[in-house]
Amino acid sequence: MNRARFSPWPAVLLLAALAAYLSPQWGGPAVFPPQAANPHSTRTLPGGPGSTAAGEPSVPVPSALTPQARRLFNSVRPASVQIEQLGTDGSGGLGSGFFISGSGLLLTAYHVVDGARVIRVRTVSDQVFNARVVGFDNAADVALLQIQTRGTVPFLPLAASSPRVGENVLAVGNSRGDFLQPRRGKLLALNAAAGNSTFPQDTLEMSAPLAPGDSGGPIINTAGQAVGVVSYVRVDGQGETLSSYAVPVMSGERLISELRAGVKRDVPAIGLYFDTTHDGATSPPGGVIGSVVSGSPAQKAGLSGLTRDANDNVKGFGDIIVSVDGVRTRSADDAIFEIRRRQIGQTVTLSVDRNGVRREVQLPLVAKGSLSFSQP
């Protein structure tokens, strides 16, 4: 991948994760600062109104749920988790996940934990565990984690067969300031294209109103089985959900077996951040390089990004990628897609335009995880 995966978690949740990390009570129940009132939120903070004597927050279930969906949510929620991560550059974020074994193995989206230095898993009973990555597949956007626990945990069985278009599904996640809340919808398509090259294609498309923060959470069928891992949510300028996508998962499939065996499969990269705001605004159109990762093949090849003034305003363009191995690329997404189709260790030829001068550059593809991506 040639740009860092950007997960637009709301800023208030990033601050919450950072505050939790700095708290001296980090090893016990998670402590969150008060949040602004949200008339659409059903979250109850630990120790606040609605808490039970056992310490488990009694979170109101949305009244829109049917009795059957309410029972399903109540049965699967204990196996769902909130994931907090802090990266090596000090950034943080929140996502979702779910246990698939009583020993504490859990699935999430890889982009939720990509680059994480610290991973914490919070359960519905308000317990917080350290977690480590057992295996991952960056291209599939799925990661398998293991929490440090001596006991057993509730878990969701994986479906034995593919879901059907039109069937009802339920997601559990942490978007919009909620804590492990349900999102209902229908399965719209199998083998759908997510419409973003940094997320896996051949996904499940759903009508469930998911949002950033639900990434990594389970998609559950009416039998209470997990059929997918939330991967990509497309939103408009106002933050309203346009489409929701999940990576399909089934018991016994090769992906799950490889993750359990500890396979860690990365994607190819050359060390670029793209500037998507200028897609289609250049002549010729192409993938506009925003900046270059230090020490990367792109930097060693002399590629350059945008130039900016003292106020961080764009002064001029650097290199624009107009083709990859002879394939025309009219946008950043086109360039990323072509690079990710190749294999780590291969050499790729880029045709780049800088101020009207065209040249070809050959670069080796390296593992994305071997580069020091951080927000420029």
Same CATH fold assignment for domains 11-66+74-154 and 268-370: no
β pairing state of 128-137 and 264-265: parallel
* pTM for this predicted structure: 0.78
Q: What is the pLDDT of residues 58-67, one digit of tens each?
A: 344 454 788 9
Residue 218 has pLDDT above 90, yes or no: yes
Dihedral, CA atoms, 96, 229, 293, 283, nearest 10 degrees? -120
Average pLDDT of the chain is 82
Residue 43 has pLDDT above 70, yes or no: no
- Strand, coil or helix: what is 180? coil
pLDDT at residue 81, rounded to an integer:
97
Other CB atoms within a 10 A radius of the CB of residue 190 amount to: 14
- Kindly list the domain boundaries of the chain, sorted by start residue: 11-66+74-154, 168-250, 268-370
**How is residue 247 written in tokens?**
């990576």
Residue 49 has pLDDT above 90, yes or no: no
Give the Cα separation of 64 and 183 in Å (integer).
10
- Secondary-structure class of domain 168-250 per CATH: mainly beta
Residue 22 has pLDDT above 50, yes or no: no
Domain 11-66+74-154, CATH:
2.40.10.10
- Strand, coil or helix: what is 256? helix
Sign of dihedral through CA atoms 233, 76, 80, 259? negative
Other CB atoms within a 10 A radius of the CB of residue 285 amount to: 18
Residue 2 has pLDDT above 80, yes or no: no
Q: Rounded mean pLDDT of 248-277?
A: 94
Identify the weakest region by mean pLDDT among 13-27, 229-243, 272-286, 296-310. Answer: 13-27
**Sorting pLDDT into bands at 50, 70 and 90, what band is 6?**
very low
The CATH T-level fold of domain 268-370 is Pdz3 Domain (2.30.42)
